Amino acid sequence: MLRAIACKHERLTPIADMASIGEAVADRENTVWVDIAGPTPDEWACLRDEFAFHPLSLEDVERRHQRPKIDVFPDYYFMVVYALRFGGATAAVAEAAGGPARGDDGGLAARPMDVGRAAGNGFDAPRVLDIRELAIFLGANYMVTLHVAPIDAIDGVWDHWQRRTDVIGSDVGALLHVLLDHLIDDYFPVIDAVADRVEDLEESIFDRFDPAALGEIFALKKDLLALRRIVAPERDVLNVLLRRDPPILSSATVVFFQDVYDHALRVLDSIDTYRDLLSSALDAYLSVQSNNLNEIMRRLTVISTVFLPLTFLTGFFGMNFTTLPFANPALLGLGLALMVAIPAGMVLYFRWRGWS
C-alpha cells in the first residue's frame, strides 16, 4: 500500500497516484513523504523510475534482514533502522540469533521476549517483542519509507505532520528527526519491561529460589543481545547524521539529531547495564544453588555422624562369642542407654558449635 503527501509553505497536499510523485518531487519547494507498506511490483517500478535509487539500495530493501546502517549517496541517504514494541503472547516466533527473521508472509516476524517463561514455573506468560525493519530513503526534498508490517511511529508522525505542519514544517530533515525520535523513544518501554523482569529474577533467586530462574536468565540475556545488535549500529547511523558537512541535511537541522543520539546512548547504556546485572544474577543463582547443596550435604553428614556410634554399638553387642558376658541384663541396659545418650550428646554438641 502506497500513500504520499506533499508539503509546500506548510500546506499539505495528498498525492493521489504514483504518476504524480515525480512531479511533486521535481518541485523543489515541496517536501514529499512517500510511505510504502508491502511494496507491489508497480511500486518497485516507481522507486526505480521516479527516484533512480541505486540498485544495491533497492536490493537491500527487497532482501530485507539488513543490519542497521546508513549509506551515503551523492543525492540521497539510504538507512535501515528497526522499530521495537511489545505485542501479544501469541505472535509468531522468529529466530534472532543473526537478526530479525522472515515470517511466513515474507515479512519480518515477531520474536518472543523471555521465551523461557512458562505457566506454572513462577513467571508470567511471555510478552512478545516485535522487531520490524524500516528502510528510509532521504533526498533533498523527499523521504521514502518502506516496511512490511505496520509501524506505530510512522502512523503517529504521519498524523502529527498533518495536524501540526507548523511544528515539523517543510524541512525534510526535521521530518526525519521526528520519525527517528519516535522510533528511539519506543525503545524505552521495552527497556522498562526488561528492568521489571530483572527485578523479578532477583526476587525469585534470593527470596524463594525458583529453579526456573536459570532458564529465564539465559532467555533475557539472549533478548538483550538481540536488542544490542539493533541499537548499537543505529547509534552509528545517528553519528553519521551528526556530521557537520552532510550532503543532504542542513546544518541547522543536524543539531536536532544530537537529542536522538543521546536517547540511543541511554538505551544502549541500559542494555549493557542489564546485561551486567544478569551476569551477576547468574553468578548469584549458582552461588545460592551451591550453598543449598552444601547445606544438604552438611545435614546428611550430621545424620551420618550421629548414626556412626549406633552402628558401632549394635555391631559390638551383636557378636556371638560365648566368652563375652552379653547375657547380663545390666549390660543390656547400659548398651541401650549408650545408644540414646551418645547420639543425643552429639546432636547437642553440634548445635552448640553451630554445625546443625
CA–CA distance, 16 with 26 (Å, rounded to integer):
16
Per-residue cell: 348: 547437642
Decide which of 289, 316, 338 is a domain's last residue. 289
CA–CA distance, 289 with 296 (Å, rounded to integer):
11
Model confidence at 75: pLDDT above 90: no
Decide which of 252, 274, 289 is a domain's last residue. 289
Q: How far apart, in Å, do the first and last CA atoms of the chain sit?
A: 73
Q: Is the dihedral of CA 60, 61, 64, 69 positive or negative?
A: positive
Per-residue pLDDT of 90-134, as tens digits, reads 333 333 333 444 343 333 333 444 433 433 445 554 556 788 999
Average pLDDT score over the chain: 79
Total structural domains within the chain: 2
Per-residue pLDDT of 267-322, as tens digits, reads 999 999 988 988 888 888 888 888 888 888 888 888 888 888 888 877 777 776 66
Q: Do both 242 and 298 map to the same domain? A: no
Q: Do both 299 and 243 map to the same domain? A: no
Confidence label for 144 from pLDDT (cuts 50, 70 and 90): very high
Q: Do both 153 and 140 map to the same domain? A: yes
CA–CA distance, 188 with 195 (Å, rounded to integer):
10
Mean of pLDDT values over 64-82: 90
Decide which of 272, 289, 306 is a domain's last residue. 289
Q: Do both 38 and 88 map to the same domain? A: yes
Q: Do both 48 and 96 map to the same domain? A: yes
CATH of residue 60's domain is 3.30.460.20
CATH of residue 342's domain is 1.20.58
Q: Do both 261 and 332 map to the same domain? A: no
CB 112 within 8 A of CB 2: no
Q: Do both 40 and 141 map to the same domain? A: yes
Q: Give the range of the structural domain holding residue 261, as residue numbers without chain letter.
A: 2-289
Q: Do both 133 and 164 map to the same domain? A: yes
Q: Report which residue type is found at 205.
A: I
Q: Do both 41 and 165 map to the same domain? A: yes
Per-residue pLDDT of 1-37, as tens digits, reads 888 888 887 788 888 777 788 888 888 888 889 999 8
Q: Do both 155 and 203 map to the same domain? A: yes
Q: Do both 217 and 257 map to the same domain? A: yes
pLDDT of residue 232: 93
Q: Do both 263 and 329 map to the same domain? A: no
**Model pTM greater than 0.75?**
no
224 CB-near residues (< 8 Å, 6+ apart): 194, 271, 274, 275, 278
